[in-house]
Amino acid sequence: MADENRPTIVIAGAGSVGCFVGGVLAHGGGDVRFLARERIAAMILQHGLRATDHDGLDAYLPPADLKISTDPSVLAGADIIFVTVKSGATAEMGALIAAHAPAAAKVISLQNGVSNTDVLRNALPGRDVRAGMIAYNVLNAGEGRFHRGTGGNIVIEAGEGDLAQALSTSHLAIYESSDIRAVQWGKLLVNLNNALNALSGAPLLEELSNRDWRSLFADEIAEGLPALKAEGVKPRSAFPLPIALLPHVLRLPTPIYRIIAGPSLKIDPQARSSMWEDLEQGRKTEIGELQETIVALCDKYGLPAPVNKRVAALIRECEEKGGGSPKMTPADVRAGV
């Protein structure tokens, strides 16, 4: 790195998560460049970039202070690259990094699912490519504002150099893990609720206050746990509550659930999942990286996954029909299981 105290950071695929993370890093004094699609770049160049959260963060960067481009040549000179594109664009981004970024740049995937890092490593042989996990959701609130609606931190795969310490700020805690695969699988299980939230159309806090929705979420996780055990994976929770206990806690009566889970569930009253946003915007979702990954793993070991199959099928139907969230009830989802 040219300056170990102030590395050049490129956000590769500046969508909701990328703009929030990059915005907070830049507001904290980091040298951050953004590689974005035309729609996002135009919005930010008009309005600036504003990162907000449920704890009161309000970090604004005017257009003149931003380095944002739609040209992949912005990757040149990068010391650290955060890949934040949707899973379907991972191979394309890997090719762009291979063509434009220095071979010494550290590449960190902050994407959903467990397979994106392998895709990047295939595209970038011999390079320092690491998995990462971001525990919270971020929504595009429009006019350049990106809002973090839930609590949590960022975890990245341990490797050469103390990147976590170098990158962490007062509003962006980053930690390293020597077992990032367990962390990723733990996040995948938690992210199974993304699809339920999208189907409900309700804010996350409202949805999770409904025991019937939580029971569906519990069933999804419970289907995945035996398959992960067969695979030899012990998923690690990003929250104080162990993953193995989560189905039991989710099924509890709501008053008891709130007492047990409340302290670890900081959720903005209006927060929704990124999959809800995808349906509302008519975009393809990452259901293949979530429920369909669980279904494939269960199929591998001959284990049933009826709830995950049903939810995946419903999301695929929504993608085909368009029109946003179908605003279903838990009974609607159960009807096809």
Give ∠ CA 293-148-86 in degrees, rounded to 5.
35
Q: How many residues does the chain have?
A: 337
| CATH number of the 8-178 domain | 3.40.50.720
pTM (predicted TM-score)? 0.92
Return the pLDDT at 128.
97
- Residue 34 — φ and ψ, nearest 5°? -120, 130
Instruction: Give the pLDDT means over successive 10-residue stretches in the chain (337 positions).
Output: 72 94 94 95 96 92 96 96 96 98 97 95 97 92 93 92 89 93 95 97 94 98 98 88 92 92 75 94 95 98 98 98 97 94
**Where exactly are the structural domains of the chain?**
8-178, 184-334
Return the pLDDT at 239.
73
3-state secondary structure 259-321: HHHHHHCCECCCCCCHHHHHHHCCCCCCHHHCHHHHHHHHHHCCCCCHHHHHHHHHHHHHHHH
| CATH number of the 184-334 domain | 1.10.1040.10
Beta bridge partners, 177, equal 157
Return the pLDDT at 209.
93
Return the pLDDT at 237.
83
Return the pLDDT at 336.
86
Return the pLDDT at 261.
81
Return the pLDDT at 269.
84
